[in-house]
Chains A and B, each alone.
Chain A
Amino acid sequence: MALLVDKHRPRNLESLSYHPELSDRLRALAQSGDFPHLLVYGPSGAGKKTRIVATLKELYGPGVEKIKIDARVFQTTTNRKLEFNIVASVYHLEITPSDVGNYDRVVIQDLLKEVAQTQQVDLSAKQRFKVVVINEADHLTRDAQAALRRTMEKYSPNLRLILVANSTSNIIAPIRSRTLLVRVAAPTEGEICDVLRVVGKKEGWRDVEGLNARIAKESGRNLRRALLMYEAVHAQNENLTENTPIPPPDWEALISQIAQQIVQERSPARLLQVRSELYDLLSHCIDPTTIIKTLTWKLIPKTPEEIQPEVVKWAAFYEHRCRLGSKVIFHLEAFVAKYMRVYESHLMGLDFD
């Protein structure tokens, strides 16, 4: 049984439920025959991928839905072998070059060149070009982006790129100026409620207005998350009321527990205890950025108003450090220690500095 998210994912541009002007634009582009390179950006869970798949379908017809997964091996200049997965249909390829870390340039160069040098095999295809969807384009290294720049111009008759990113900040300007920027904003809470209602109706579940609104709020305008929460609530409870608790994901529960502990007692002993919990989170592959961010949001309401800016300042500081450094736990722990210190000095009414 498929998850709700996949089961009710809109398959074509008509059935997309929000951003109608955006859907119109994508349709116009797909039908015009002169399809530009796209750079689709927006927060996660806003429906970037869904829109891309729908656009591809508009371009090529139902054939794009027949996908297969290829494992390819690439060789770097230092003779290291890289294994790389490609999701492909007859008409398009989908790759996540950031999977191979620093070697993404090799993959981009080899693969795109190979794709671009051959024309569409299927003569009855609607378009002469093939589309390559590049996920997580904002995680590409500068080298890989520079390599893209050349490829985009050179092979434009045979190849169109669709780059998917969370933000355009990390994409170099030459690429930005060569692509058509498409911003996908997160759905509003009202729009999420609408989606939940429609999905609930399809599943034959009873509609609880208040609960839907709460889910929408909890999800932080992330539709994927909202749907998962919706499914979880319905799976765990028989009778739903407005006040049915929404179970948070385990990691989030753990982080809010950590926040609770930190605020309760601010001492080296507590720091030691928190460390083991942080390790626990890290060993479950929770991204350090997510940890610091969630922890900050959980700590802020418990913090006196005067030092809230201070907390955010240090959160941003240590999150940056996490990016630069190699050992994440140092920075996480430093953030916790810093918070304790800021809090303590505020209580005692003096600055330690």
Chain B
Amino acid sequence: MADFFNIKARQAAAAQASSSKAPTTKQEPNRLQPWVEKYRPKTLSEVTAQDHTIQVLSRTLQSSNLPHMLFYGPPGTGKTSTILALAKQLYGPELMKSRVLELNASDERGISIVRAKVKDFARQQLSAAPSYNVMVEDKDAEGGVKQVKYRDKYPCPPFKIVVLDEADSMTQDAQSALRRTMETYSKMTRFCLVCNYVTRIIDPLASRCSKFRFKSLDQGSAVTRVEDIAKLEGVRLAPGVSEELVRIADGDLRKAITFLQSAARLVGNNKPAKGKKRKVVEDEEEEDDRMDVDSAPADSDVVTLKTVQDIAGVIPERTMDDLENAVLSSRNKKNIPYAAIANVVQEMIAEGWSAAQTVGQLFERIMFDERVNDVQKMKIVGYFSETDKRLVDGADEHLAILDLGLRISGVLCQG
């Protein structure tokens, strides 16, 4: 605003705005950028725990030929990160814009878009790669920053890449519209489909691609990654928190990182604006390391198990214990203890715990409980499925949970 009368500054700003359609996140201070974006792997070698896929893809980097690709696997395993890192390594910053088209589910992706946008992009002439003499700074080179030839650092192969993220949410029609497009322009365009469920991709498309399965992250590497990020951001974690984060997120690294960021915000770690940071407590914390899930943490700067569970909306063990005990107390008895169950359920509803979460956690407990035999488990699973359906349909939570508890109890007391 202050630059309004300064013609030069305005021209510069306008030039900058028009020349680079850089995403706004770049201009924001880093603090406001989601950590998921900030710590997205920049090269293939940084992608965690997908050794096989990475090995194959790194080889294509040298040979500079690429098949059509289909990446599939559960969310948060690095599918999008891999293809973006690959594209970056292939083309470098200058060519990224003109050689890669990324479409994801939030963009309109009906059949008309496939016909118009994708096809237009696919049949475009290749944009010129920088001539062989263009130099670029290589920051990773051994012995400090060095000038290298752009083409040496980035192979710039003669094709474009279309990334269709979340391709399983594309309609059947849109997918079939792709079939011929993929073949016709295969000379200068490669497609990369990214999806969670490979079964939702129609066969003709799947058979045109080489498939890469991304396996769910193992506990160890996910925990390491979370801890790395925490260290870089200066977030202090109480012992066991990183494991808990990964466990709650179900191997979805993105979710774990998002939770970590929320937790950090909540305990006030990343707000340098606040003057009075409590540093005094640091020494006492050593003795206070033992984790007590239910008591409020003494030191507000450390991310504790409780903070993490709060953010994820996880119901504390003690509440779940109450519920489980009430439900299971009917074993070897004649009657269903209505009053006990009703009390616990009422308490939980008043505390505001979400019913879907309750059902999920109760399921885990009952199904792995050895006091319940297999026949009973079979019946109980049926009730879980029915309750879940009801909740999805928007039925009343109190009645649904109470009903579930009573029915499980009923199954147990017959046996």
Using a CB–CB distance below 8 Å, which chain A residues touch chain B?
A: 21, 25, 28-29, 31-34, 36, 41-43, 46, 123, 149-150, 153, 156-157, 167-170, 176-178, 180-181, 183-186, 220-221, 289, 292-293, 296, 300, 305-306, 308-309, 312-313, 315-317, 319-320, 323-324
Is B51's CB within 8 Å of the partner chain A? no
The 6 closest A-B pairs by CB, nearest first: A316-B403, A42-B352, A150-B106, A169-B356, A32-B271, A309-B406
A331 → chain B, closest Cβ, in Å? 12
CA distance A348 to B410 in the complex (A): 22
Selected from A43, A180, A323, the residue in CB contact (under 8 A) with B349 is: A43
Q: A36 touches which one: B265, B392, B409 (CB < 8 A)? A: B265
Within 8 Å CB of B24, what residues of A?
A: 157
> Which of B's residues lie within 8 Å of A, judged by CB?
1, 24, 28, 31-32, 106, 254-255, 258, 262, 265-266, 268, 270-271, 273-274, 296, 310-313, 335-336, 338, 342, 349-357, 390-400, 402-403, 406-407, 409-410
Given contacts A292-B396, A312-B399, 9 further A-B pairs with CB under 8 A are: A28-B271, A32-B273, A34-B265, A167-B397, A170-B391, A305-B335, A306-B335, A316-B402, A323-B393
Q: How far is the CA of A204 from the CA of B342 in the complex (A)?
A: 38
Known contacts: A150-B106, A168-B354, A169-B355. The answer to whether A320 contacts B397 by CB under 8 A is no
Cβ-defined contact, A323 with B265, below 8 A: no
Report the bound CA distance from A180 to B106 in whole Å: 21
Residues of A contacting B392 in the complex (Cβ-Cβ under 8 angstroms): 169-170
Residue of B nearest to A155 (CB): B24
Interface pair B265/A316, CB less than 8 Å apart: no
With a CB–CB cut-off of 8 A, which chain A residues contact B335?
A: 305-306
Task: List the B side residues contacting A316 at CB < 8 Å.
Answer: 390, 395-396, 399-400, 402-403
| Cβ-defined partner of B355 (8 Å) among A150, A167, A176 | A167
Chain A hits for B409, CB < 8 A:
309
Tell me how far the C-beta of B32 lies from the nearest C-beta in chain A, rounded to whole angstroms.
Answer: 6
Residues in chain A near residue B313, CB distance under 8 A? 168, 176, 181, 183
List 19 contacting pairs A-B, 8 Å CB cutoff, sorted by A: A21-B296, A28-B268, A28-B274, A36-B265, A43-B350, A150-B106, A167-B354, A169-B354, A169-B392, A180-B265, A186-B350, A186-B351, A300-B342, A309-B407, A312-B403, A312-B406, A316-B400, A323-B393, A323-B394
Which one of B350, B353, B396 has the highest number of Cβ atoms from chain A below 10 Å of its Cβ?
B396
Max chain A CB contacts within 10 Å: which of B258, B274, B394?
A: B394
- CA–CA, A313 to B355, complex, Å? 17
A225 to chain B, nearest CB (A): 12
Task: Give the residue of B1, B356, B402 whose beta carbon is less than 8 angstroms from that of A312.
Answer: B402
What's the Cα separation between A351 and B336 when bound, in Å? 19
Q: A168-B357, A169-B397, A296-B399 are in contact. Are A32 and B352 (CB under 8 A)?
A: no
Residues of chain B lying within 8 A (CB to CB) of residue A186: 350-352
Q: Are B268 and A293 in contact (CB under 8 A)?
A: no
Task: Give the residue name and chain of the B residue nearest to A287 (CB).
Answer: B396
B265 touches A305 (CB 8 A): no
Q: How many pairs of A and B residues are in contact by the CB < 8 Å rule?
A: 136
Look across to chain B and name the residue whose beta carbon is closest to the beta carbon of A188: B350
Flag if B403 contacts A315 (CB, 8 Å). yes
Which of B274, B395, B406 contacts A313 (CB under 8 A)?
Answer: B406
**B403–A32 CB distance below 8 A:** no
Once bound together, how far apart are the Cα atoms of A156 and B396, in whole Å? 33
Q: With the chains together, A34 CA to B32 CA distance in Å?
A: 7
| B351 / chain A contacts, CB cutoff of 8 Å | 183, 185-186
Q: Which of A29, A149, A185, A293 contacts B106 (CB 8 A)?
A: A149
Also in contact, A29 and B265, with CB within 8 A (given A315-B399, A319-B396): yes
What residues on B are CB-neighbors of A150 within 8 Å?
A: 106
Q: A41 contacts which of B265, B266, B354, B402 (Cβ < 8 Å)?
A: B354
B336–A319 touching, CB < 8 Å: no
Docked CA distance A149–B169 (Å): 15
Find chain B residues with CB under 8 A from A32 CB. 265, 268, 271, 273-274
Residue of A nearest to B351 (CB): A185
A313 neighbours in B (Cβ, 8 Å): 403, 406-407
How long is the Cα–Cα vector from A181 to B338 in the complex, in angstroms? 32
Cα A111 to Cα B349 in complex, Å, equals 33
Instruction: Give complex CA distance A25, B263 in Å.
Output: 11
The answer to whether A29 and B394 have CB atoms under 8 Å apart is: no
In the assembled complex, the CB of B75 is this many whole angstroms from the nearest CB of chain A, namely 9
Q: In the bound complex, how far is the Cα of B391 from the Cα of A300, in angstroms?
A: 23
Report the Cα distance A32→B353, complex, angstroms. Answer: 28
Chain B, Cβ-Cβ closest to A31: B274
On whether A292 and B352 interact (CB within 8 A), knowing A157-B24, A309-B409, A312-B406, the answer reads no
User: Quick one: which of B262, B398, B406 contacts A180, CB cutoff 8 A?
Assistant: B262
A319 near B399 (CB under 8 angstroms)?
yes
How many angstroms from the CA of A31 to the CA of B410 in the assembled complex? 51
Contact between B395 and A185 (Cβ–Cβ < 8 Å)?
no
Q: Is the CB of A309 within 8 A of B338?
A: yes
A42→B310 CA distance, assembly (Å): 13
The answer on a CB contact under 8 Å between A25 and B393 is: no
Q: How far is the CA of A177 from the CA of B1 in the complex (A)?
A: 35
Nearest-CB distance from A268 to chain B (Å)?
26
For B270, list chain A residues within 8 Å (CB): 34
Contacts of B32 in A (CB 8 A): 34, 156-157
Q: Nearest Cβ in chain A — how far from B401, in angstroms?
A: 9
